[in-house]
Amino acid sequence: MSMYILSSDEISQLVTELQASYAVYGPQVEPQTRQVFFDLINDATALDLEAPIPSMPVKEILFPQMERILKYKYDAETQSVEMARQYFEQPKVLFGLRPCDLAGIQALDRFFLGQEFVDDVYLTHRRQCLLISNTCLHPFPQCFCVCTHSGPDADEGFDLDLTKLADGYLVKVGSEKGRALADAHNWTPAKPQQLSEQKAVVDKCIDLFPDMATDNKAWVSRVMNRITTGFIKSETWEYIGDQCLECGACSFVCPTCSCFNIEDAQTECGECERLRTRDSCSFEGYARMAGDHNPRQPVEDRRNKRFFCKLSYSQSKKYLRPGCVGCGRCQWVCPGDIGLPNVVQYIRREITGGEA
């Protein structure tokens, strides 16, 4: 794997160069609220590689909350239909991805593109996409990526990977697209001591995680085993379900949640548009079938399904990793306090007889 050292100015120059051919997205801090958004960069100076993880997952760019995928018009007189696709390719760069969001994109890639059927809408968003990840120098308050092998640094899935060192950014090349980008520049190769410094940065970040995050690492594996084999008491799921407000917030901020709904909306007489909107297994009507049959009407059954999706071996086989990337957003937004770390704790107490 080729590695280079770039200055902060060279990073800014790279962003400016990429903007000539790509729509470049990256982390930006909103001045008034100090909220972090991963959004289109109009000015290279707005890119903030030291910003915390954004409030919303980066999957918003590749798998939007709502998008129009088709327009069609039926002419009753001629009995003909006109159709027009509404999703189009756009070369884009996701610059400064945190490793957890990168792992989330890898999970979505394997779900939408890596199985028997390929989702053409997602493929169109993903096809001309350059991924540039950014190593975390310290854990953010809600993070537990060390428990799910998705941080604080990335080891696969990126085209380029950045790590901030004392004298610049160490840049690792991770793909042919990244190699082509590096070959087009006269970047300075990294020295052996800079590679050692990068490892020290990652080790220091891991040491900074709170005891609860590192202690949970083994317990995540034990909970995965319990969820997969069904050895969790119904009372535990009922306790978790009683705290769920069915708001769907956890699904919408999760980097790996992939559920969606399709609906047709009439815009004018004879003219309709087909919309794809993200869905959530929290919603009471999520699994409702024809005839109003609902196999998952009790909320505890839906919570069971969500955590099975995140921590079962069958889902890990599908994603080639756990369905949770340890970003902590679900814990951040859940009004019922049943983000994934707390659920692990509840099941841990069941296993240990109340001791945690």
**String of DSSP letters for 99-161:** HHHHHHHHHHHHHHTSSSS--HHHHHHHTTEEEEEE--SS--TT--GGGTT--SS--SS-SEE
pLDDT digits (tens, 9 = 90+) for 288-347: 888 888 888 777 778 888 888 888 888 888 788 888 999 999 999 999 988 888 888 888
Q: Which two tokens stand for residue 208?
A: 């900074």
- Mean pLDDT throughout 204-228? 81
For residue 83, the SS3 value is strand
Q: Measured between alpha carbons, how far is 90 from 19 in angstroms, rounded to an integer?
A: 12
pTM higher than the cut 0.85: yes
Q: Measured between alpha carbons, how far is 328 from 348 in angstroms, rounded to an integer?
A: 18
Where do we find the tokens 């317990």?
A: 219
Closest CA to 209 of 75, 41, 44, 326: 326
Q: Which two tokens stand for residue 119?
A: 């989702």
Closest CA to 255 of 104, 125, 145: 104
Q: Where are the alpha helices (DSSP H) in 144-268?
A: 176-183, 192-208, 211-229, 234-242, 249-253
**What is the average pLDDT score of the chain?**
90
pLDDT computed for residue 216 by the predictor:
67
195 or 222, which is more confident? 195
- Mean pLDDT throughout 138-155? 90
Rounded to 10 degrees, what is the CA torsion of 308, 312, 315, 320? 150
Stretch among 7-16, 55-64, 224-233 having the lowest mean pLDDT: 224-233
Q: Which two tokens stand for residue 349?
A: 């107490």
Which DSSP category does 185 fall into?
S
pLDDT digits (tens, 9 = 90+) for 55-78: 899 999 999 999 999 999 988 888
The band of 52, judged by pLDDT with boundaries at 50, 70 and 90, is: very high
Could you give the percent of the chain with pLDDT greater than 90? 58
- With beta carbons less than 8 A apart as the criterion, state whether 274 and 262 touch: yes
Where do we find the tokens 């993200």?
A: 278
The band of 276, judged by pLDDT with boundaries at 50, 70 and 90, is: very high
- Mean pLDDT throughout 6-35? 94
The band of 356, judged by pLDDT with boundaries at 50, 70 and 90, is: low
Strand order in the sheet with 129-134: 36-40, 23-29, 92-97, 129-134, 160-165, 168-173, 3-6, 188-189
217 or 178, which is more confident? 178
Q: Which two tokens stand for residue 82?
A: 């006109």
